[in-house]
Amino acid sequence: MAFTQQNSSAPQHGNGVPHVRLPVVQTGAEKAGPPGVADQAAMRVLRWLRLVFGVCFAINLGLHFHPQYAAQFARQAADVVAQPHWLAVWDGAVWRVLSAAGVSKGLALLFGIEALLTVGLLTGWGFPAMGWLGLAYELLVWSALGGGGAGAAALVYALGFALLLLLRAWQGSAWSDAALRRPGLSQVRWALWLVGLLWAAIAWTAWQPGLGLRLSDALIQAQAHAPNGQAEWIAFWAGLGQALGMDEFAVLIAVIDTLIAAGLLLAPWLPCWLRRLLLWSGLMFSLLAWSLNGALGVFPGSYSDTLSAAAIGAWLFELLLAAHPWLEAAPPRVMTAPPEMRRVGDAA
């Protein structure tokens, strides 16, 4: 006796084979599963690093109330002559707006934005919108300060906000209801590439003529503003540069900058161990550069940042160290397998 098993209410089509409605499976449309233990550990490290950035912002905010900072900030309008034309036009427009509103009111507005960003960084509140605000604010400060020492620091701070956005460093905070998920592969790659572009600009500057003389002058000025213990440390490196020849010492620094820049741009294709070695080297080199800033960069003549661009650069490498393993392992996926086609034949 023949029989046919009903798997669907759809009409049957010949030879006793039922019509089965299959789910549509699209390539790359799998749903990402919950983060694993390693992912959660990396997210926790990123969250702590965001808090460190918030502490830096809080210290900056306190130092910006120093009267000398306001005076230095107001003098930046005189630097438009040394800028490219397009940047001078933009800088002049910014300063005209500040002058019309009153410099004191303009500074109060900027300090209010910094206070808001500090709260966002320390609590995770308002992200990711707060990260976009910080990125826009730091780019505004960089352009308005004319790209000098303070402007260069603002550019590095802007890059910090960009990495926080790319690596989702706000998730898991008490004030954030963002879903816990690892950043995409392209986001981690762009984080490495952005830092690599920064170091490519540093390397280009390092290869310009006269770096040896500029390096010697910078070490002398840093030693003059450093406390006793740090002054001895700077004197050691100045003596090493004199022994090797300051021009040769500058070439060595330029080569290191170039290797770090090239490694960061090629990092997505490097083995994990070599990428980790590269990031640790960049971190240690940035910390060394920070240690050679007079008074560790606090009020280094620009009266605009507390820890200098080199310190925030070291912090960027810490972000990359926490996130770079995501280039290796694919995120966990919940695969939807199509049901088996069961062919039901006739049984006698």
At residue 214, does pLDDT exceed 80?
yes
C-alpha distances out from residue 242 to 4, 213, 245, 286, 330, Å? 93, 11, 5, 21, 50
**32, pLDDT greater than 60:** no
CA distances from 270 to 267, 277, 326, 327 (A): 5, 11, 13, 10
Please write the tens of the pLDDT for every residue from 45-81.
Answer: 999 999 999 998 888 888 777 766 666 666 654 554 4
Per-residue pLDDT at 57: 87
Q: What is the pLDDT of residue 145?
A: 60
Per-residue pLDDT at 15: 54
209 pLDDT higher than 60: yes
pLDDT of residue 300: 47
Q: pLDDT tens-digit profile of 71-120?
A: 666 665 455 445 566 666 777 777 777 777 776 777 788 889 999 999 99
Band the pLDDT of 331: cuts 50, 70, 90: low
> Residue 260, CB half-sphere, CA atoms under 13 Å: how many?
28
Instruction: Tell me which of 8-12, 65-69, 201-205, 258-262 is least confident.
Output: 8-12
The identity of residue 204, as a single letter, is W
Output the six-digit token pair for 323. Answer: 């996130």
Task: Tell me which of 24-28, 33-37, 145-149 is least confident.
Answer: 24-28
Backbone angles phi, psi at 249, to 5 degrees: -65, -40
Between 145-149, 219-223, 231-235, the lowest mean confidence (pLDDT) is in 145-149
For residue 217, pLDDT beyond 80: yes
- What value does the mean pLDDT take over residues 282-302? 77
What's residue 303's pLDDT?
44
By the 10 Å C-beta count (0-12 exposed, 13-18 middle, 19+ buried), 144 is classed as buried
Evaluate whether 83 touches 91 at the Cβ level (below 8 Å): yes
Whole-structure pTM value: 0.79
The mean pLDDT value for 315-341 works out to: 71
Instruction: Of 15-19, 196-200, 266-270, 293-297, give the lowest mean pLDDT range.
Output: 15-19
Angle separating helix axes 246-265 and 185-206, nearest 10 degrees: 160
Determine whether 343 is exposed, middle or buried from the number of CB atoms within 10 Å of its CB (0-12, 13-18, 19+).
exposed
* pLDDT of 73: 62
Which whole number is the average pLDDT over 277-288? 95
